[in-house]
Structure 1
Amino acid sequence: MVESGGTSSGNAWTRNNPLVSQDMSSVFYIHPSDANTTQLVSVKFNGTGYSNWKRSIMLSLSAKNKLGFVDGTVIKPVASHVDFKLWERCNDLVCSWLLCNLDDSISRSVMFFKTAREIWLDLEERFGYASMTQIFSLEQHLTELEQGSKNVSDFFTEIKSIWDAMSDISPLPCCTCRKCTWNVTQKVLQMEQDRKLLQFMMKLSDRFATVRGDILMQQPMPIISNAFGIFSQEERHQSLSQVTQQTEALAFMADNKKGLKKSNGNYKGSQIAGGATGFKKNTYFCTHCNVAGHSVERCFKLHGYPPNFKFKDRKVAANVSVNSSGISNDNAVNSGISVAQYHQLMDLLNKQNTSGAGSSQISSFDH
């Protein structure tokens, strides 16, 4: 399609007009790198996000000095005009660019339009309308938007994209009389800036409450870009302060760990997990008296209390004594006999071991 103007008559006209064909400021100038299969935007238009795609295409066409072929400023000359062949070649090139940057299904629907202007108007009629459904969707997204875990830069980018989409769908009114002495347009723009700034600050985290209060006290309030810079600096300051506090806390834990290791040999060591410090728990448990704190090998009730043991309960101290054989009287109390009977039984057993007497001595035992 690009070579449609490359006829012999066209080449003859170009040879007769070398200045026009080589003038880079002319709308008919085509750079050697301008291929008809060039993709002007990163994503092809598939029916959604028309405003963003339209903006990207217009920027690319303007950079190539071909925007006039879609907005209607470059009017098609008559067939007998000297510029007709140049216009036809550039128009075909712009049509190729538009088709290459559309999805296959949409591209087929505008394939047989003759001019780039017709393709552009058809896309505008189908996808460029502003409906209340689109405005409702953007307003709902803006209402539900919160900073959450996002940083200030990412959050500002997200909310600004919504503002730009709403401005494209429903632009602000402006005065065009050029005789207005009330500066209505400037006042409307200032009110819109203040409204956006308030929305931005309302949806930030509470950790920016101090800076937010300082900005609200200013008269007049700063523009939205300056406010974004202030909150970004505050976020970096808070990040540095948090790192410093964590470093100091870890150093304090390390000093405490060294001190506890020196003062307590049974200290297991600090376990830093979520800021908590753990100590080694006592795992001793006596299976004889079912009491934690000592093992069965060190149970005083089973092996006897040591001399000069200090009892906390006087009743227990009165019922417990250590005999010459090292056996505790506490076992005698638990067996159901009195202390006097226990001593008599022990004397009888000692006599039996020394004299070898039989059962006659046991029968003489006085119950």
Structure 2
Amino acid sequence: MKLVLMKFDGSSYGDWKRSMLISLAAKNKIGFVDGTVTKPNSTDPNYRAWDRCSNMLISWILGVLDQDISRSVLYFNTARDIWLNFEERFGQASGTLLYALHQALHDIRQGHDNISGYYTKMKMLWDQLDSVDTMPMCKCTNCTCEITAKMMKLQQDRRLVEFLMKVNDGFQVIRGSILVMNPLPSISHAYRLLIQEENHKKLYQTSPVSDDAVALAVNRRFGQDRFKQSRNISFPDSRNNRADSRNNRANFYCDHCKMQGHTIQRCYKLNGYPQTYKSDKRVATIAQNGEDDVDKKMDSSNIFTTAQYQQLLQLIGKDKSDDIGGHCNK
């Protein structure tokens, strides 16, 4: 019978120990490993029953151990002896283990994880750290200093700041709101606020338009005009699409700058202007004015290279010459 699903291979002893204690307590056999149920004398009437239960526990423990570790404790007489051996070999907190846990906490970032996945990783490291570096507790009779509660609150505040430091920059507004609270909220409360902000961002998330996408749209517009003139095929007018886009943006309102067209999460005045903001406006102006104003816009912008300017002018000149030749033939 397996008490726990994972086999102990020498690592994560704290997690394995916790799972074993839960299973043994559920079966009312924890006294055989913590020493509360002592071994009776061989002449005691209960000796055979105790020996049967002890051997059953040894079988359970061996079933959830790696093969090498299982062979190292195979000849122990009682489950208590096996448990004490594990505590001596794996239960002592070492400097190497503490260093590894603190290094993992230092390196962890939210990255591509959502808030739930990121919090789970942090919580696992905190729990392992608590198992190897336990906080001292006050054992005074009728204690009034409340030093234990103060130390727990200090630890929670430190971990809250550590948790907020590693979230992505998109949560900087809600992060600032949490940090100005006095006193600081619990980690679970801050987690709920971040989850709500994440769900809110998903509702209004839009894909940003890059320079390459705008340039591709301009080139596609010119290509459609040439193909339409040569094949006499009509394409749907993109002005309707632009009108629909403007109507959709009119539904958004920014509480920071008091303007329509965007939300507070995408406000340039609050989050900063992107480096390509000016070039995006120049490309959009060229696309809206049409071919007649292309020469004037190219002289005042640096969107295309000199070779691209020449190719674009030749393309426009060829289209106009084709139109003139077609009217002359008619």
Query: Offset at 1:80?
Result: 1.7
Query: Offset at 1:294?
Result: 2.6
Counterparts of 1:202-241 in structure 2 under 5 Å? 202-241=165-204
Counterparts of 1:163-312 in structure 2 under 5 Å? 163-242=126-205, 245=206, 292=315, 293-294=317-318
Provide the residue aligned with 2:105 in structure 1: 142
Number of equivalenced pairs:
238
Provide the residue aligned with 1:40 in structure 2: 3
Separation in structure 2 between the aligned mates of residue 194 and residue 166 of structure 1, nearest angstrom = 16
Separation in structure 2 between the aligned mates of residue 62 and residue 157 of structure 1, nearest angstrom = 26
Structure 2, unaligned stretches of length 5 or more? Answer: 208-220, 242-279, 292-312
> 15, 22, 27: which is aligned to 1:64?
27
Query: Offset at 1:79?
Result: 1.4
Separation in structure 2 between the aligned mates of residue 125 and residue 157 of structure 1, nearest angstrom = 30
Structure 1, unaligned stretches of length 5 or more? Answer: 1-37, 247-259, 282-289, 307-367
Separation in structure 2 between the aligned mates of residue 118 and residue 188 of structure 1, nearest angstrom = 35
> 42, 45, 53: which is aligned to 1:79?
42
- Are residues 1:115 and 2:74 paired? no
SS at match of 2:204: helix
Provide the residue aligned with 1:3 in structure 2: none
Query: Offset at 1:297?
Result: 9.0
Query: Offset at 1:194?
Result: 0.7
Provide the residue aligned with 1:126 in structure 2: 89
Aligned in 2, Cα 1:297/1:179: closer, same or farther, shift over 3 Å?
closer
Deviation track 1:22-80 (CA, whole Å, cap 9, x = no partner) reads xxxxxxxxxxxxxxxx1111111111111111111111111111111111111111112
Query: Offset at 1:268?
Result: 5.3
Aligned in 2, Cα 1:88/1:214: closer, same or farther, shift over 3 Å?
same
> 3, 6, 13: which is aligned to 1:50?
13
Deviation track 1:198-243 (CA, whole Å, cap 9, x = no partner) reads 111111111111111111121112111111111111111111111x
Query: Offset at 1:179?
Result: 3.6
Aligned in 2, Cα 1:296/1:219: closer, same or farther, shift over 3 Å?
closer
Give the structure-2-normalised TM-score. 0.65
Separation in structure 2 between the aligned mates of residue 298 and residue 81 of structure 1, nearest angstrom = 114
Separation in structure 1 between the aligned mates of residue 167 and residue 141 of structure 2, nearest angstrom = 40
Separation in structure 1 between the aligned mates of residue 320 and residue 173 of structure 2, nearest angstrom = 63
Runs of 4+ with deviation above 6 angstroms: 275-279
Name the amino acid aligned to 1:180: C
Compare relative contact order (CA 8 Å, sep 6+) and give the higher one, 1 or 2: 2
Name the amino acid aligned to 1:159: M
Superposition RMSD in Å: 3.2
Query: Offset at 1:291?
Result: 5.2
SS at match of 1:53: helix
Separation in structure 2 between the aligned mates of residue 140 and residue 186 of structure 1, nearest angstrom = 27
Structure 1 or 2: larger helix share?
2
Separation in structure 2 between the aligned mates of residue 145 and residue 105 of structure 1, nearest angstrom = 32
What's the % identity of the aligned pairs? 41
SS at match of 1:87: helix
Name the amino acid aligned to 2:7: K
SS at match of 1:76: coil
SS at match of 1:294: helix
> 74, 77, 89: which is aligned to 2:52?
89
Deviation track 1:71-115 (CA, whole Å, cap 9, x = no partner) reads 111111111222212111111110000001101111111111110
SS at match of 1:165: helix
Deviation track 1:277-319 (CA, whole Å, cap 9, x = no partner) reads 999x9xxxxxxxx95433899598xx9x97xxxxxxxxxxxxx
Give the structure-1-normalised TM-score. 0.59
